[in-house]
């Protein structure tokens, strides 16, 4: 009880609390999208300020520094095309959700040999069992600074997830970490609820409970 009250008090002081914002990257602010010719690019493409494209997320300073030094002027690519940080439609090159994210360190000639991250604080839903995404088996997910183990969901589909059941109902810091010199392409799908037991499982549970009750009554009557 004391820990709960302390957490609530700290949340009130820091402003920390509430649901994650733009968790799946499908709610960017694209108000200020404009044509921009990236360094050494052949054609102009559409870009917008990183903090607007990835609103809700905090981007580590090392990334912002490298983005500026590489000539991208704090801008993220929107709608397709080579860039250090890109947001593009899963259905094609148009700027309509759902969106996927691409991160390419190799496009920065000045990249420092250190990782960068996208992170934010928020509330894990009460019924959450996993955080799921498409495409990238090497995405590094951290909760409160602790790395979580990636698990493949389907052998035929490129779906991956990490178990967040132990954090359900808690306010946490969620971080996506990217090592220097790597390429990542992922579509974050959000929190997946704990699956409800199917009819067969419920039948077995009910049968077990009836059997346990029968044994209890039988034991009493034999005394």
Single pTM value for the model: 0.77
pLDDT surpasses 70 at 138: yes
- What is the band of 223 on the pLDDT scale with cuts at 50, 70, 90? low
Confidence band for 91, pLDDT divided at 50, 70 and 90 = confident
Average pLDDT (182-196) is 89
pLDDT at 57 over 80: yes
Query: What's the whole-number average pLDDT of the chain?
Result: 81
What whole-number distance in Å separates Cα of residue 39 and Cα of residue 37?
7
> Which helix (H) or strand (E) element contains residue 13?
helix 2-14
Asked whether residue 217 carries a pLDDT value surpassing 70, the answer given is no
| CA nearest neighbour of 118 among 99, 142, 89 | 142
- In tens, the pLDDT along 3-25 reads 433 443 444 443 445 899 999 99
Provide the 3-class DSSP secondary structure of residue 218.
Answer: helix
How high is the pLDDT of residue 194? Answer: 86
Q: Confirm if 36 and 139 have CB atoms less than 8 A apart.
A: no
* Secondary structure percentages of the chain, helix, strand, coil, to 5: 25, 30, 45
Weakest mean pLDDT among 10-24, 46-60, 81-95, 206-220 = 206-220
pLDDT average, residue stretch 88-113 = 74
Say if residue 134's pLDDT is above 60. yes
Please state which of the ranges 10-14, 71-75, 112-116, 147-151 shows the lowest mean pLDDT. Answer: 10-14
C-beta neighbour count of 55 within 10 angstroms? 15
Residue-wise pLDDT tens digits, 139-178:
999 999 999 999 999 888 899 999 999 999 999 999 999 8
Alpha helices of 16-140 — where are they, by DSSP H? 50-53, 61-69
Q: Where are the domains of the chain?
A: 2-193
On whether the CB atoms of residues 46 and 35 are closer than 8 A, the answer is yes
Sheet holding 128-134, edge to edge: 34-36, 45-49, 75-78, 85-89, 99-104, 183-193, 128-134, 159-163, 151-152
């Amino acid at each position: 009880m004391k820990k709960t009250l302390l957490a609530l008090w700290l949340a009130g002081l820091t402003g920390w609390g509430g649901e994650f914002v733009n968790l799946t990257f499908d709610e960017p602010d694209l108000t200020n999208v404009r044509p921009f010719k990236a360094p050494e690019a052949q054609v102009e493409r559409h870009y917008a300020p990183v903090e607007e494209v990835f609103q809700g997320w905090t981007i580590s300073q090392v990334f912002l520094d490298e983005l500026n030094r590489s000539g991208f002027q704090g801008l993220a690519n929107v709608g397709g095309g080579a860039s250090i940080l890109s947001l593009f439609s899963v259905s094609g090159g148009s700027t309509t959700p759902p969106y996927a994210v691409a991160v390419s360190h190799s496009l920065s000639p000045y990249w420092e040999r250190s990782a960068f991250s996208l992170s934010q604080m928020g509330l894990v839903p009460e019924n959450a069992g996993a955080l799921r995404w498409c495409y990238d088996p090497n995405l590094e997910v951290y909760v409160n600074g602790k790395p979580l183990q990636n698990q493949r969901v389907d052998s035929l589909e490129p779906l991956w997830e990490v178990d967040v059941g132990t954090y359900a109902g808690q306010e946490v810091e969620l971080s996506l970490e990217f090592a220097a010199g790597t390429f990542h392409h992922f579509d974050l799908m959000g929190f997946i609820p704990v699956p409800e037991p199917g009819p067969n499982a419920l039948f077995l549970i009910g049968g077990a409970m009836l059997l346990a009750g029968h044994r209890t009554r039988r034991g009493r009557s034999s005394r």
